[in-house]
A and B are shown apart, each in its own frame.
Chain A
């Protein structure tokens, strides 16, 4: 199957190399041939124009159901809002598929994790995760987050057989969601990273660097904003 967001890196990069040569007027990569600042600005600009996603991504590792699950998770973990689209539009499913196709350790975390997710979903709704109502999907994710916080907040070793002896301290039985935490952690970091490294995510963040300037200046508006919220009269 394929999805709409294809990231054709290799082609883009070979075009990049060609572009650079044109912009630099370099016929062959000469020994230490430098370029001047105007050329650098031109390269930055041309690369920015040329940087568009092309083609269809062909799923390399996951089956159709697994990929659909990744798409749904990508919408839930990084949802679309007024500041930008979802992790799905940020290319997260493709990113996870590509890495998993190259890394059996990662692949196993995701295949096992998604089977666990479907099992956890069936307990609640009798249906697989993607087929369940959104409310049930978020309940599972909420349970994962709660289990994660319990683990972080607690000094008690959950694994002990004697945990109930400590119940006087209000210790709860470990959540079953705890078993899904490794998978959840991986899914979240990869979806978040895919989104914020995508062009849409860069725009959402407002990252305006990776550019060439003749002069470097810091806008007074930013200085005033920070200074007004700081303990200082001047900075």
Chain B
């Protein structure tokens, strides 16, 4: 079995692992960065600026797969990223559980395609139990985290405006682009109902930094950006990490377990070299797990040894527990005010230019659910693709009436999506399926999941609010925005891809897996740098906080290495 020695072994090259490898590499720490998937090559892999008519299949893919529900997840043009199902790598769900798990096996992970919403957690978000007696408090405060948000935002680049809203702390912002027409109408509708729409905070740069060009507003962030004008862990963390000369990227490395020493410390990891289908190990003074919340927990639970019969650093039994996703629900409609509107380029910076942070944070006593949500928005003149005009075609039949209706209705559709905080509960967790292994011989994750009334009631509040907003703008509500995902009244658990919480931080070893530096209570040279560390799952999309926490952990780890404590 081949062996190699490094200072630190980092598992996973996404937001958490990429940040970790870059920060450590810049400090001269020798890092092995293991990634289960391949390297990414933007020049080769990104479909930036392509049109559907560049392809005979018009982006419906060979044989029209997209029409049969068998196309690439998130569409043909989306950059290589992963999928809801990976061949030979199943996961299972307990009876009664419906859970979807999006996994990426590629350098950069899910940040290659993600929505890039970048919202800071607030002081209230980090101490939720103290406010409402539900869930748990984090072992850190907003003051602990704020400097790391500053650094992260200054490095990756995030747009926004200073607003002074307590539930949405301000940051170090790039100037955001101006609102699109439908967004202005929805902002006015929000004003009439007391819902504040403000400039969106997305990880896109509107002025050049670190050799990256400013955004050129082609609106295609999800395809990957050749000008590196948005944040993706591949281009903004991993490539610079490799350029330090201190980081060795090992692709195609599917890590099976953390290897424990006789003294109960982490010695390194054992992984399957996917190409050779051979077991290999890599050793380091410390191990950092950043494989995504559920892969990290799976890895810890599968790391059994004399010291750790229930999985490494799992004396509390909390590895895999308190799994959370974001509460999702959306409503779509059309705004007649936009019919036959003069055309303009509404691509912008690749997502909505406005969003509404949670506005009722001081009114929970009047609501029947304890936590908030923010509102995301869709609309504008979208690039046509498979099925774009299906509804209009059904409505009008065929022929000239169809053609005229398409011209009239193009760009009138708006969608509002809620992204809400789920309260952790005992019924939502993952463990290891006792009966199933994957193609690499690794026991697979099994999910158990249940939303409580808190989430269901929050979703109904979203529904009423979105209907009111669209109607206040003179619009017509069509119904649920994503029927296959939200048809039961709330997005299928896991489908928002904000799953976190499976190895949470805390002050005590009996009630948490990690300390405030994301260091395992029981194994001082084992760290976690992904969403597994989260104690709660605020309505803020998790990536920015994963970046900030990973940076904080990296600085702490580098110092502990220097002092010889690790």
Binding site for B on A (CB under 8 A): 7, 9, 12-13, 16, 20-21, 24, 26, 29, 31-37, 39-41, 43-44, 47, 51, 76-79, 81, 83-84, 91, 94-95, 98-99, 102-103, 105-106, 138, 141-142, 145, 148, 152, 188-190, 192-194, 196-199, 201-202, 204-214, 216-219, 221-223, 225-227, 229-232, 234-235
Contact = CB atoms under 8 A, between A and B. Distances in A.
12 contacts: A9-B56, A29-B43, A35-B226, A36-B208, A99-B64, A193-B388, A196-B388, A197-B385, A198-B53, A205-B406, A211-B345, A211-B347
B389 interface: yes
Nearest to B381: A207
Residue from A94, A103, A148, A197 having most chain B Cβ neighbours under 10 A:
A197
Contact of A222 (B44, B341, B398, B473): B341
A234 B187 CA distance: 10
A24 B46 CA distance: 15
Nearest to A60: B56
B341 A209 contact: no
Nearest to A187: B398
Contacts of A44: 49, 216, 218
Nearest to B42: A32
Given A189-B390, A196-B389, A226-B184, A210 B217 contact: no
Interface in B59-92: 59-60, 62-64, 67-68
Contact of A235 (B185, B228, B385, B399): B185
Contacts of A231: 472-474
Given A219-B342, A223-B184, A192 B389 contact: yes
Residue from A94, A199, A229 having most chain B Cβ neighbours under 10 A:
A229
List the 8 closest pairs (A to B, CB-CB), nearest first: A103-B63, A32-B239, A206-B343, A102-B63, A235-B184, A29-B43, A145-B397, A197-B52
Interface of B: 41-44, 49-60, 62-64, 67-68, 177-182, 184-185, 187-189, 192, 208, 211-220, 226-229, 234-235, 239-240, 242-243, 335-339, 341-349, 381, 383-390, 393-394, 397-400, 402-403, 406-407, 410, 472-474
Contact of B56 (A78, A94, A103): A94
A205 to B, nearest CB: 5
A197 B349 contact: no
A149 to B, nearest CB: 8
A221 B227 contact: no
Contacts, number: 260
Contact of A209 (B53, B54, B381): B381
Contact of A79 (B64, B185, B399): B399
B178 A216 contact: yes
B345 to A, nearest CB: 5
A182 B342 CA distance: 36
A39 B59 CA distance: 25
B185 A230 contact: yes
B344 A222 contact: yes
Given A105-B68, A145-B397, A229-B337, 11 more contacts: A7-B55, A26-B43, A31-B243, A188-B393, A189-B390, A193-B389, A210-B347, A223-B181, A223-B184, A229-B338, A229-B474
B185 A226 contact: yes
Contact of A197 (B59, B189, B240, B410): B59
Nearest to B239: A32
A207 B43 contact: no
B384 A230 contact: no
Contacts of B336: 229
